[in-house]
Chain A
Amino acid sequence: MIRLERRLEQPWWLSVAVPVGSLAVAFAIMAIVLAATGHAPGHTYRQMLEAGFTGNGAFSATLISATPLLFTGLAAAVAFRMQLFNIGAEGQLYLGAVGASWIALQLGDRDAGSTPLYVLAMCVAAGILGALWALIPGVLRAFAHTNEIITSLMLNYVAGFLITYLIFDSASYWRDVSTLQALSFPQGKPMPTAAEWPVFGSSLVVPLGFLIGLAVAAALWLLYSRTRFGFEVSVIGDSPRAARFAGMRTRRKILAVMALSGGVAGLGGASQIGDFTYTLDPTGLQGAAFGYTGIVVAALARYNPFAVCVVAVLLGGLQNAGFTLQGADFPSGLVGVLQGIILFCALGGELLIRYRMRIGRRARTRTESGPTVEPAL
């Protein structure tokens, strides 16, 4: 008979060992799924490793896939840390892309030296629009007690329809209507050349967006571990009642955290425009499910900003491998299935972090095992 006892102290190594172990178990389960559907797991995994990490130029491509996941992962981590389930990073990223492309077009053509101006303006515009979009569920949650999970998710669909409308069904500011071809095959206006974000490195190409993401992660880590704000957020996340009795302003925190989360997701949209697409591309944005994968990233990283960076690269590699290998040999949903299994395993593994397994019937006495109830529930 297996009994579970709540751990009073969680050894630090468990929070590394359990995710790594979960990952290993997930790959083992996926191997069974692959074998059962007539694929050779070893071969598929080798292909994925090469296409995602070790192959020629593969890691540069992985960083491209990892960049949006870094932002959406951080966005989810920031909010989930406070038990505020913003699953609207998807839509907030779209809005960020809308804002970034708007400001870049507004600034018009300038000389190559003004790229930093573009980067700054695009980030600010994207951050503001993403934050505002996230504040809709935030305000509703803070003032009307409306479930933010559903409202933020519904807004993803609305944001998707919005960007489709801007490019496909209207003569909006973003749409290219200069040529006959652009009129029959709707597309966004191209950004000015100087608005294209720089890349770094030669053999390993690092997009600027990825570096910005790393900086944001560091800033968030500081905010969450070294400031009063971060402390209050964790208290509210662990025990809203305790936070209320301690006089913390829950409502303000909800608004601030939602805006922060949406702003970070919006930066992801700016990076999509500035780093990769150089135009507002509704089809590309909506096909990638950056926001939803961000939830996987955040959960696997246990909402730790630095771990998010590592996991984003890992899952970015998976996605990149998925794009590269897509074909008869490599069915389209495989990456999503693998992500789901990884997340399930991580959730199951969470049990091992919080509880200690005891095998055998003999129950220890109460005084020995200490209080089994969480101090503040």
Chain B
Amino acid sequence: MSINDSLLVIVLAQAVLYGTPILFAALGELLAERSGVLNLGVEGMMLFGAAVGYWATQRVHGPSATVLLLAVLVAAFSGAAMAAIHAFLTITLRASQIVSGLALTIFAGGLGLSAYFGSELHLADLPAAHQLGSLDVLGLADFPVVGPILFDQSALVYGSWALTALVALYLSRTRWGLNVRAVGEAPASADAMGINVTLYRYTHVLAGGALAGVGGACYSLSITPSWVSGDTLVNGAGWIAIALVIFAFWRPELCLLGAYLFGALSALPFALQARDVTIAPELLYSLPYVMTIVVLVVVSTGFAKRRLGAPAALGIPYVREER
């Protein structure tokens, strides 16, 4: 038995696979929150992205790579469309960001639009036509330990690494990125500087929705290529992504690490079951959720006073007349 078949390597490789949707969604939520808009609709946007992405692989014909690329783009677009509702309600109509986000999850989620879409188009009965398999780009897949973990993953995983770097550079090194941060920290000052607060908030909430849609597509195109009615496909990953943004202190590079931590916790039950470990599966399944609470508590007690990293204007509608 080679080292690549050891439990640790398998769990770590799966951690990257299961962490990727959370990473996409968290990066999206991070962009929205950095502009000052909290979007609790991530779970709903992910599910809808998953449904629409899966539908696209069924409808489009052509070479697998083209179809899958298109499916990911369509998923991104549908996530953004959902986010547009939230953006309009919270930015233009100044509604409560919390209630609007919850409404979005109910509207788009497993008992709402995703289920409607899935049942209207009979997605649950369709076997997967295309699947994002692993790509051994550098020919290093069999390399001990790092091979399966880093070089035997799907294109979405490699894409998520590039995206993390892009978001980090965008926020710290570009004019637009700095403007976004200004809008999230002090919208009135940003407004006075001539930055269009409304425009920045809209674009970043939409971008956040698009990334959540891609995160959802990770499930229906790569992890479990199928459509299941109800919320079992995403199963709370959207909420974990929102928590992840908090304990990554609103920094993209920390999102990457955190996502893989939760990926590992999600992957652990399956890896252990394959080895006939007899622990109650429910105990293992609840690990990521319990861990989310634990990490959140640790972070919030340690940094509550300094609010490390939280955009100062997060959750507050900006109304120019009411400054």
Contact = CB atoms under 8 A, between A and B. Distances in A.
Interface of A: 4, 6, 37, 80, 85, 87, 140, 144-147, 149-151, 153-155, 157-158, 161-162, 164-165, 169-170, 287, 289, 292-293, 295-296, 299, 331-337, 339-341, 343-344, 347-348, 350-351, 354-355, 372-374
Contacts of B296: 146-147, 150-151
Interface of B: 40, 85, 89, 93-96, 98-100, 102-109, 111-120, 229-230, 235-236, 239-240, 242-243, 246, 280-283, 285-286, 289-290, 292-293, 296-297, 300-301, 304, 321-322
Given A144-B304, A339-B107, A348-B95, 12 more contacts: A140-B297, A149-B40, A151-B296, A157-B236, A157-B286, A161-B283, A295-B99, A334-B116, A337-B107, A337-B113, A348-B93, A351-B95
Contact of B300 (A147, A299, A331, A333): A147
A164 B282 CA distance: 8
A9 to B, nearest CB: 17
A331 B297 CA distance: 41
Contacts of A331: 115-116, 119-120
Give me the 8 closest cross-chain CB pairs, A-B, nearest first.
A340-B107, A333-B115, A333-B116, A336-B112, A336-B111, A161-B282, A343-B103, A165-B282
B127 to A, nearest CB: 20
A350 B94 CA distance: 9
Nearest to A339: B106
A100 to B, nearest CB: 21
B103 A347 contact: yes
A299 B321 contact: no
Nearest to B235: A157
A333 B290 contact: no
B282 A145 contact: no
Nearest to A348: B93
Contacts of B112: 333, 336-337, 339-340
23 contacts: A6-B322, A37-B120, A146-B293, A146-B297, A147-B296, A147-B300, A149-B98, A150-B243, A151-B293, A151-B296, A157-B236, A169-B281, A293-B106, A331-B115, A331-B116, A333-B114, A333-B115, A333-B119, A335-B111, A340-B112, A350-B96, A351-B95, A355-B94
Contact of B107 (A4, A150, A155, A343): A343
Contacts of B98: 85, 149
Contacts of B321: 4, 372
A343 B113 contact: no
A177 B128 CA distance: 40
B108 A158 contact: no
A161 B120 contact: no
Nearest to A334: B116
By secondary structure, the A interface counts as helix
B111 A289 contact: yes
Nearest to A374: B322
B282 A351 contact: no
Contacts of B290: 154, 158
A296 B113 contact: no
A146 B105 CA distance: 22
A332 B107 contact: no
A162 B281 CA distance: 11
Given A149-B98, A296-B106, A333-B118, A144 B300 contact: yes
Given A347-B95, A347-B96, A146 B300 contact: yes
A142 B239 CA distance: 21
A347 B215 CA distance: 27
Contacts of B114: 333
A75 to B, nearest CB: 14
A146 B302 CA distance: 11
Contacts of A350: 93, 95-96
A354 B94 CA distance: 10
A69 B5 CA distance: 50
A292 B239 CA distance: 14
Contacts of B96: 347, 350
Contacts of A144: 297, 300-301, 304
Nearest to A322: B111
B245 to A, nearest CB: 10
Given A169-B280, A344-B89, A374-B322, A154 B289 contact: yes
Contacts of B235: 157
B239 A154 contact: yes
A347 B242 contact: no
Looking at A4, A37, A343, the one whose CB has the most chain B CB atoms below 10 A away is: A343
A337 B106 CA distance: 8
A19 to B, nearest CB: 14
Contacts of A296: 103, 106
Contacts of A164: 282
A68 B322 CA distance: 41
Nearest to B290: A158
Contacts of B282: 161-162, 164-165, 169
A157 B103 contact: no
A85 B101 CA distance: 12
A347 B104 CA distance: 11
A56 to B, nearest CB: 27
A341 B102 contact: no
A333 B229 CA distance: 9
Nearest to B112: A336
A226 to B, nearest CB: 26
Contacts of A161: 282-283, 285-286
Given A145-B304, A347-B96, A332 B116 contact: yes
Contacts of B113: 333, 336-337, 340
Nearest to B43: A153
Nearest to A373: B322
Nearest to A341: B107
B60 to A, nearest CB: 20
Contact of A344 (B107, B230, B289, B304): B107
Contacts of A4: 321
Contacts of A351: 93-95
Contacts of A157: 235-236, 286, 289
